[in-house]
Amino acid sequence: MLQYVLNGVATGALYAVIALGIVLVYRTSRVLNFAHGDMAMVAVFLTWTLSRHLGFPAAAAVAILAAAALGAAFSFGVLQQVKEGTLLGQIVLTLGFSQILSGAALVAWGADSKPFAFPLSSMVTYRVGDAVISQLTLGSLVIALVLMAGLYALIQHTRVGLAMRAFSQDEEAARLLGLPTRRLLAFTWGVAALLGTAAGLLLAPVTFLHPYFMLMPFLKGFTAAVLGGLDSVPGAVVGGLLLGVMESLFGGYVSLRFVSTLSFALILVVLLVRPEGLMGRAFQRRV
């Protein structure tokens, strides 16, 4: 039991990091970013390429910054430039951007799966009571928790975070108060891309690297965001951890073959019973 819970918490923490990026973008723009996973995928491939020349730490830092810049550039240079663009139109743009990124990755790096070298090992293990946890799993959990704490500090204890919260509460009022709303949106997209890339770097050593390796993690992150509440940052964390533990217990006691089905079943149940999620609130637009 403890083994399944530990594995579920570690995996769920990565789901939560992905979900946080989805929630950040949704809170500020009401856009579901379907390119979230593919931006991370390209950045991880960039890390894989650069690590041969720069070493892993420097390559990862460059790739994370590149992903943040790509997310900010897409928001500022594409989404915000669409004249009279509808919300559905913006979502379709993210879907198109996703296809462009996956196609570019296929051309640049091919479709074959590639091993991804990571400083932490999955072969080195530690004993926790009756359970065993690998160095990679433990490191992934610690890094995910650090990212969550960093995002909390950014949102709650900085001027930029205060501006982001004000913008998510009332876009028109924030604009009238003189907040740089366009730059805030771009910054939020950049932070979301950074979070997705960090999760991708931690997942690649386990799943191997190919142009579609972030598809399933993105769907799990989206499930976690819906489960916790698409407008709730704490809900994304709770949803990710809950999903990870539920999947681990389901796979251990019921069936590994239908673990992925559990995510989509959860989406259906949550949307039917509580559409705003466990910690979300119904969106109301002022008139």
CATH code where residue 252 lies: 1.10.3470
Does residue 152 fall inside a structural domain? yes
Cβ contact 270:39 at 8 Å: no
Cβ contact 276:225 at 8 Å: no
Q: pLDDT per position in the chain (287 positions), as tens? A: 888 889 999 999 999 999 999 999 998 888 999 999 999 999 999 999 999 889 999 999 999 999 999 999 999 998 888 756 688 888 999 999 999 999 999 999 998 989 898 988 888 888 887 888 899 999 999 999 999 999 999 999 999 988 888 888 877 787 877 788 889 999 999 999 999 999 999 999 988 899 999 999 999 999 999 999 888 899 999 999 999 999 998 888 887 788 878 878 888 888 888 888 878 766 554 43
Token pair 């990565």 is found at 14
Q: How many domains in the chain?
A: 1
Other CB atoms within 10 A of residue 46 CB: 22
Other CB atoms within 10 A of residue 143 CB: 18
Does residue 122 fall inside a structural domain? yes
Per the structure, the complete domain to which residue 26 belongs is given by 2-273
Task: Give per-residue burial for 195-208: e unless 16+ CB within 10 Å, then b.
Answer: bbbbbbbbbbbbee
Whole-structure pTM value: 0.92
Does residue 126 fall inside a structural domain? yes
Distance CA 46, CA 42 (A): 6
Other CB atoms within 10 A of residue 107 CB: 8
Other CB atoms within 10 A of residue 244 CB: 23
Q: Which of 244, 228, 245 is nearest to 236 (CA)?
A: 228
Structural element, H or E, at residue 226: helix 215-228
Q: Which of 71, 112, 76, 78 is nearest to 93 (CA)?
A: 78
> What does R_g of the chain's alpha carbons equal in angstroms?
19
Ramachandran region, residue 113 (left: φ > 0; alpha: ψ -120 to 50; beta: rest):
beta
